[in-house]
Amino acid sequence: MKIIIIDDEKYIRRMISDFLKNEGHEVIEGKDGFDGIEKIMQNPDIGLILLDVRMPCLC
């Protein structure tokens, strides 16, 4: 399954990504909401989105 992790903390993204890759999943990482949306649009076959809901707003 293709999974995207969207989180502003690189350490958290890397930790979750390593675990999921070890389980055989393809993982994409997004460093913020804008980056995540761009990567979702480029990969319409993503099966799961893991989203940090407490990311700071860069409005």
pTM for the full predicted model: 0.90
pLDDT class for 59, splitting at 50, 70, 90? low
Sequence-separated (6 or more) residues with CB below 8 Å from residue 7: 13, 16, 30, 31, 50, 51, 52, 55
Q: Say yes or no to pLDDT of 43 above 90.
A: yes
Q: Which domains does the chain have, with CATH numbers?
A: 2-51 (3.40.50)
**CA–CA distance from 44 to each of 2, 34, 47 (Å)?**
10, 16, 9
Is pLDDT above 90 for 55? Answer: no
